[in-house]
Structure 1
């Protein structure tokens, strides 16, 4: 699977997301989402869209909070994985849903931002209504257990690629943080000179879950995924973490270094992931207020706290303003740094 071939079909199916999004403006004034949402109560099960495959970090966080959130909502929560398009297929489903409080989506900001800047999906994720931020993840480099004892540092991984012993690395689609980080390390001004990471081919998958499975099976010798998404396979065996690209380290793997610990320039603008929750555009303020209050209640539930302690995945609560700002800030920073031009030139 070549990078070029994968790039040509990078957003297969995204037209469907755009078509769903085009329905967003077709709601009538008497729809369940009309009005100001005062005294709103969920009256049916909540659809919780995860815009990535099962087993990825966004999915892990959804399933980590779902029991507590079910009690807080007083309704069943149905987790629905809608992968593809760098997260935009799932966002398209959310965008076209009724703004009545019964459909929400997880996110992995800034993961979904560059794909929208690369190719117009027919909607703008900045129109989504923020509900809350509930956690944070970092991107980590994992290696197949066959190499344990031989490959122990980022320098070792780099040498395996630069010597030609390894050719491939598993990442997500064009515009993903892994795409950006590996491009910076080989081609980026101010980065390539220090990293000099001469990988030959990047095999692209739809999320951390498939990447981790590919590394576990030996389809690729190494890959980059979130700490949250790789942790189950690390715990069960098959892969092990080498380093994180987040300069402050990772609570999931507290014993591994960051690339900056090893003397490389930081990539913090793209190597952290905010775990947010969003509602469709035009969701009434009263509905958002109720949703965010119930999410806050769920984050304080001892079961969610215990899940965090067991897995190492950090959790917290931030409100709608912070969730909206996470997306806005990501667009501004990626545009300022000229990242899209780098992707278009080398992906």
Structure 2
């Protein structure tokens, strides 16, 4: 068991109140990632520099086309160059991201399997039902970007529906009866429940949606809105951008108060006078390795991921798509998960979901 896991379990009963989006640059405590099976873990000799010796499997715990998938495919070429090995992207959707995380959890901690993430998207599913593992035991490699949750609408309504106020009126009047979101416990699930049922938010939002149609990720949501299966849906800016670019949907607003670089011209809900939901309205694009991955492997993987984020190909991708890129190291990735659990437990998000979902 890693020292990080031991410290997390000792601190599990100490939860502080924080209402903020997970801004974790420089956050977190010093972490020791020493392996449990040997000094340097299985398959790694102490004192030797680690090098990838075969292709690397990059798990995306969501469908193709979602934001986590978009970031993976954006960095795959520069990451291949940095690793000196092929990168094989493997979409493992389902369970609110936990199917992919469970796959990573059971993989060999030898540096040849990593996973993307969309923290805090994966947190509530674990709080709702024990998946048989704890994602807080995963070893952070770094954070390579962030996304925000945006409301997109079928292009049939362009010129008629241009703000969150307009979307709210469509639902409240009964003209629309549905909205596309992800599974119970997802940020979209939480935001829509807050806006209808939690007095602190509902008194201002008064968003009387009738039905929430649930999908496995932003990609399927964007496709459902494009096809007219639902008139609108909530997805990440990164994940909805391909559908916006190809036509069929357009963005109306973001739920993150500071806006989005992907759609710089759309307002946030706070711009329209609604309370902010920043603690759940943003997504950290993290990368993780299996539990007990040796420290030498973590350091080498993290360094090569940082190298990839500085590659001109990745910078050009960022400029073309509007998706922000940067690098924050293993401590930041670990803190993103740990902080999200503390935040959601403190706000009793599970009780809200169980009462109204």
8 Å contact from structure 2 (residues 147, 323) kept in 1: yes
Change (3 A) 1:37 1:103: farther
Between the aligned partners of 1:241 and 1:303, the Cα distance in structure 2 is: 27
Change (3 A) 1:149 1:37: farther
Q: 2:257 aligns with which of 224, 242, 247?
A: 247
1:307 and 2:317 matched: yes
8 Å contact from structure 1 (residues 36, 285) kept in 2: no
8 Å contact from structure 1 (residues 145, 238) kept in 2: yes
1:268 and 2:278 matched: yes
Structure 1 residue runs of 4 or more that deviate by more than 6 Å after TM superposition: 25-31
Taking the TM superposition and a 5 Å limit, the aligned residue runs for 1:24-63 are 32-36=42-46, 38-63=48-73
Residues 7-58 of structure 1: CA deviation (Å, up to 9, x unaligned) = xxxxxxxxxxxxxxxxxx9989998545547410000000000000000000
8 Å contact from structure 1 (residues 35, 284) kept in 2: no
Q: 2:184 aligns with which of 174, 184, 187?
A: 174
The two structures have a TM-score, normalised by structure 1, of 0.91
1:99 and 2:109 matched: yes
8 Å contact from structure 1 (residues 33, 98) kept in 2: no
Taking the TM superposition and a 5 Å limit, the aligned residue runs for 1:1-347 are 32-36=42-46, 38-347=48-357
Q: Secondary structure at the match of 2:326?
A: strand
Q: Which residue does the alignment assign to 2:4?
A: none
CA RMSD of aligned residues (A): 1.6
Deviation at 1:338, TM superposition (A): 1.2
Change (3 A) 1:38 1:332: farther
8 Å contact from structure 2 (residues 40, 296) kept in 1: no
8 Å contact from structure 2 (residues 44, 50) kept in 1: no
8 Å contact from structure 2 (residues 147, 283) kept in 1: yes
Residues 230-261 of structure 1: CA deviation (Å, up to 9, x unaligned) = 00110110000000000000000000000000
Between the aligned partners of 2:253 and 2:347, the Cα distance in structure 1 is: 24
Structure 1 stretches of 5 or more lacking a match?
A: 1-24
Structure 2 stretches of 5 or more lacking a match?
A: 1-34
Q: Secondary structure at the match of 1:262?
A: coil
8 Å contact from structure 1 (residues 33, 283) kept in 2: no
Q: Secondary structure at the match of 1:100?
A: coil
Between the aligned partners of 1:36 and 1:194, the Cα distance in structure 2 is: 58
Change (3 A) 1:30 1:266: closer
Number of residues of Structure 1 aligned to a counterpart in Structure 2: 323
Q: Greater helix percent: which structure?
A: 1
Between the aligned partners of 2:145 and 2:329, the Cα distance in structure 1 is: 12
